[in-house]
Structure 1
Amino acid sequence: MTRQSRQSRQMSIGMNILGLGGHAAARQYGEVPATATTDVEYFTHIAKISERGTLDAVFLADGPAFQGDPAQPTGKLDPIVLLTAVAAATERIGVIATASTSYNHPYNLARRISSLDHVSGGRAAWNAVTTAGDAAARNFGQDGAAFHSDRYRRADEFVEVVTRLWGSWEPDAVERADGTRALVHSVEHRGEFFSVEGAGTLPLTPQGRPVIVQAGSSEGGKNLGAKHADAIFTTQTTLEDGIAFSREMKRRAAGFGRDPETLKIMPGLSTVIGSTEEEAHRKADELDSHLSLDQELGLIAGRLGIDARELDLDRPLPWEQFPEPSDSVRTSHGFLEAQLNLARKEDLTPRQLTRRIRSGHRLAVGTPEQIAATLTEWFLAGAGDGFNIMPDTFPSGAEIFVDHVVPELRRRGVFRHEYASSTLRGHLGLPVDSPADLVGRR
């Protein structure tokens, strides 16, 4: 796609509601109490702010294990339950729920996500993740997480079954007064991981079927996303890597017989925004000041998948400690590679790396104009079709983005002034599957 043709299109933007904020010190910063993470009104408020800015969707990450600081725990509601309430309190904004293919069953999950899509009037998406790490595995009676290749084989079959269940009702099955049973088809699936006999419990949703989002950037994750996903959430730390990743994923999608433009690439961006550049950096420094040395080491070590004792914040990274991504590595390949690539290219120490990456994603600190400029640059260069925004603190970070960055993006002609659709597929510029496509999934 040429720069000129991309200029005529508009980017997609999601708001990633990461607890109290995308910065690890959001709790200590104290904008809202820690109990907000179990308050539906807190999430609804952020969703309404995002809807006011005509953003595509709000997104909730998730994992079936306690992942917080044992000394400062915060709660985490089930995303599908929470987003059902959020959808009922909003009108147009999409709702994206994360659910694991490692610790769910396709039949139940297909029904739950389809229910969310019906309740929301066609605004739902499922972020399909494979869940690396041993903590979740032990919660489900396993000694440790499955190897990378096993997780992705299971995920491929899982998503295939879910999409077949979503397409098991023909489009006019409900409207037809006679012969309805003949228009509902059993999937009759027998595979390596799952055996599913019957049809789904619900007709096609208002957007045909829910949107599928995928976030893996490993080899297995790329193939899964290129084959099944409508949108890819990805961590990209440099413009060059973002362009290369986007082009690669479009090629992979074409290799699966898909129109590459039906796959939307959405890198994450963490933000700290001020009315001046000085103010933005002052807030970033204030947030950082709430983290102890041990906390900073723990954050970077956790993302890099090594013991914090192997790190010194102000010395070079211990490169010999990082294994090449392989089937035996149970951590997230994509997050690891993105951060190591940036550190290697710019010779960053762990402390410097924490100033460039937050929540595992590229960090932008600056004015609304500077944030809008970097988003526009990446969009026009082909490094993404949209972005997943992770403000430093909520709800103020969402308000600043909507009230000050969004108008700048509109002024540059790269973001909508109003919603043109009532469904998430419409917001993303994705086609509704034709009846033939849906039948093909059975």
Structure 2
Amino acid sequence: MTKARKMKLAAYLIGTGMHVASWRHPDSKPNASIDPSYYKMLAQIAEKGKFDIAFIADSLAVNAESHPQILNRFDPIVIITAMATATEKIGIAATASTTYNEPYTLARQFASVDHVSGGRAGWNVVTTADATGETALNFSRENHWEHDHRYERAEEFLDVVKGLWDSWEDDAFIYNKESGKFFDQNKVHELHYKGKYFSVKGPLNIARSSQGQPVIIQAGSSEPGQRLAARTAEVVFAHRDNIEEAKSFYKELKARLPEYGRTEDELHILHGISPIVGETEEKALQKYYDLQKLVDPYEGLKFVSGYMGNVDFTKYSLDTPASEVEFPPVNSIQSQFTEMKKIIEEENLTIGDLYTRFFGAARRDGFVGTPAQIADEMEKWFTEKAADGFMVQFPLLPDGLNDFVNLVIPILQERRLFRLDYEGDTLRDHLDLNKPNNQFVQEDRTNKTVSK
């Protein structure tokens, strides 16, 4: 019997929230991004709501265009480790760059978190989108690598990491005190990887976890990004301007999977939304306007500038037509830049419109309203296959997360769109993903089972 399709939900946890002015809200805690107890609390609230994933993003540089919440923050792997100790079921995932890391170190870090959490870890694979080049200067480089170069390196990086995660077979460590045999030498494997970018012997000095490997997450939507996702990703975070574009992306990415011997249910596409919940539509809109009133227009424009290449929007008056701005070639998030530029060309936007138009936490859309209205919109996107679920980016934390868990989740559960409780222990269990076979072991791949 085919298992009924259920929404997948990830909670995007960032300080006081995704809205650029959330830190100024009367109910916010401005230093939340460096408070471990605060992040533990957020993870516990998300777990109460039965979310699949509590997610922490990252950046490796500080510049004038940075969102205030990322100017002062912990390493995300440290935070998800703390969150793992404060929760029992929810998956915990973090961003880490393939451009500014080494595979062995990163493989060991995420494998360690996977053990600490009991098989609940996920890695958001990024090549680092850096329009200003600031990150390169923090890593002894003069310039940020070109887009396609970064993805080529990422392909190798992932192969190395996944190979290292398979260094030890599941039953390699036998701990036999009588014989003095700590492990079975026939069940440990050296990788001996040699490629264009990496030469890694292995093995990794940590065993496989209960879910086999951390879940691979990605967000790239460019051609190289989609190719990498189709080959390796198990969750993809997506942002599209409307439901029709989201449906088109969903269909296109899923259609790429058979090329790599994969099926549609082996990759979940989660669309980014920024819900603001109110008991009435008027109350929801008031919450929205209260946040908007806190925005310094030019602070919002600095944030936009970070996504549009080396363009300083703050030098223009707010009523300047955005179509008059000249954009240099971009070396950051190409798919997002292309979409934003297309909207600027097609719509009569002014410079002052840009932050509200482009960033979900500042947009008034179908996800600002009553619990039922938000559930309706989510159900539409889900049932029409614009998404398998949602990356929920709350404009204001913790209030937005509390409202969503207490008011929206029960409606989704009542409609049988979302789980009533966790049915397994690992992140792969929650996402209905099979435990990966060890690539060094010959197994019957027709008899894959979900780890329990």
Q: For residues 165 and 189 of structure 1, what CA distance do their matches in structure 2 show?
A: 10
1:426 to 426, 429, 432: 429
Q: Aligned residue for 1:256?
A: 260
1:42 aligns with 2:38: yes
SS in 1 for 2:55: strand
Q: For residues 409 and 432 of structure 1, what CA distance do their matches in structure 2 show?
A: 28
User: Which region of structure 1 is more displaced relative to structure 2, 165-174 or 332-341?
Assistant: 332-341
Q: For residues 15 and 145 of structure 1, what CA distance do their matches in structure 2 show?
A: 30
Q: Aligned residue for 1:337?
A: 338
User: Which region of structure 1 is more displaced relative to structure 2, 67-76 or 377-386?
Assistant: 67-76
Map of 1:226-237 to 2, 5 A cutoff? 226-237=230-241
SS in 1 for 2:94: strand
Q: Aligned residue for 2:247?
A: 243
Map of 1:42-441 to 2, 5 A cutoff? 42-67=38-63, 74-133=71-130, 134-175=133-174, 180-305=184-309, 306-309=311-314, 312-318=317-323, 321-322=326-327, 329-343=330-344, 347-358=348-359, 364-435=367-438
Q: For residues 319 and 438 of structure 1, what CA distance do their matches in structure 2 show?
A: 59
C-alpha spacing 1:273/1:338, structure 2 compared with 1 (3 Å): farther
Q: For residues 361 and 186 of structure 2, what CA distance do their matches in structure 1 show?
A: 49
The letter of the residue matching 2:25 is Y
Deviation per CA, 1:284-338, whole angstroms, max 9, x where unpaired?
Answer: 1121111123123223333333221575544543267346xxxx63121122234
Q: For residues 83 and 412 of structure 1, what CA distance do their matches in structure 2 show?
A: 31
Deviation per CA, 1:240-276, whole angstroms, max 9, x where unpaired?
Answer: 1111111111112221221222011111111222221
Using the size of structure 1 for normalisation, the TM-score is 0.91
After superposition, the CA RMSD in angstroms is: 2.4
Q: For residues 107 and 137 of structure 1, what CA distance do their matches in structure 2 show?
A: 21
The letter of the residue matching 1:75 is N
Using the size of structure 2 for normalisation, the TM-score is 0.89
SS in 1 for 2:145: coil
Q: For residues 423 and 415 of structure 1, what CA distance do their matches in structure 2 show?
A: 17
User: Which region of structure 1 is more displaced relative to structure 2, 355-364 or 136-145?
Assistant: 355-364
SS in 1 for 2:299: helix
Q: For residues 67 and 331 of structure 2, what CA distance do their matches in structure 1 show?
A: 26
Q: For residues 112 and 253 of structure 1, what CA distance do their matches in structure 2 show?
A: 28
Q: For residues 113 and 439 of structure 1, what CA distance do their matches in structure 2 show?
A: 25
**Could you tell me the percent identity over the aligned residues?**
38
The letter of the residue matching 2:144 is A
The letter of the residue matching 2:73 is K
2:22 to 18, 23, 26: 26
Q: How far apart are residue 342 of structure 1 and its match? A: 4.7
Q: How far apart are residue 224 of structure 1 and its match? A: 1.2
Q: How far apart are residue 346 of structure 1 and its match? A: 5.3
- The answer on whether the counterparts of 1:186 and 1:199 sit within 8 Å (CA) in structure 2 is yes
The letter of the residue matching 2:426 is T
C-alpha spacing 1:194/1:236, structure 2 compared with 1 (3 Å): same
Deviation per CA, 1:27-86, whole angstroms, max 9, x where unpaired?
Answer: 111323222211111001111000001010110110111257789675210111111111
C-alpha spacing 1:184/1:53, structure 2 compared with 1 (3 Å): same
- The answer on whether the counterparts of 2:65 and 2:305 sit within 8 Å (CA) in structure 1 is no
- The answer on whether the counterparts of 1:21 and 1:390 sit within 8 Å (CA) in structure 2 is yes
Q: How far apart are residue 438 of structure 1 and its match? A: 6.4
Q: For residues 441 and 137 of structure 2, what CA distance do their matches in structure 1 show?
A: 37
- The answer on whether the counterparts of 1:167 and 1:438 sit within 8 Å (CA) in structure 2 is no
- The answer on whether the counterparts of 1:168 and 1:439 sit within 8 Å (CA) in structure 2 is no
Q: How far apart are residue 406 of structure 1 and its match? A: 0.5
The letter of the residue matching 2:170 is P
- The answer on whether the counterparts of 1:235 and 1:360 sit within 8 Å (CA) in structure 2 is no
- The answer on whether the counterparts of 1:168 and 1:199 sit within 8 Å (CA) in structure 2 is yes
SS in 2 for 1:236: coil
Q: Aligned residue for 2:450?
A: none
SS in 2 for 1:265: strand
SS in 2 for 1:355: helix
- The answer on whether the counterparts of 1:300 and 1:350 sit within 8 Å (CA) in structure 2 is no
Q: For residues 421 and 146 of structure 1, what CA distance do their matches in structure 2 show?
A: 41
Q: For residues 340 and 188 of structure 1, what CA distance do their matches in structure 2 show?
A: 44
Q: How far apart are residue 420 of structure 1 and its match? A: 0.6
Comparing both structures, which one devotes a greater share of its residues to helix? 1
Q: How far apart are residue 392 of structure 1 and its match? A: 1.2
Q: Which runs of 5+ in 1 are unaligned?
A: none
Q: How far apart are residue 192 of structure 1 and its match? A: 1.0
SS in 1 for 2:100: coil
Q: For residues 296 and 240 of structure 1, what CA distance do their matches in structure 2 show?
A: 27
Q: For residues 299 and 11 of structure 1, what CA distance do their matches in structure 2 show?
A: 31
Q: For residues 420 and 296 of structure 1, what CA distance do their matches in structure 2 show?
A: 42
Residue-pair matches, total: 431
User: Which region of structure 1 is more displaced relative to structure 2, 19-28 or 274-283?
Assistant: 274-283
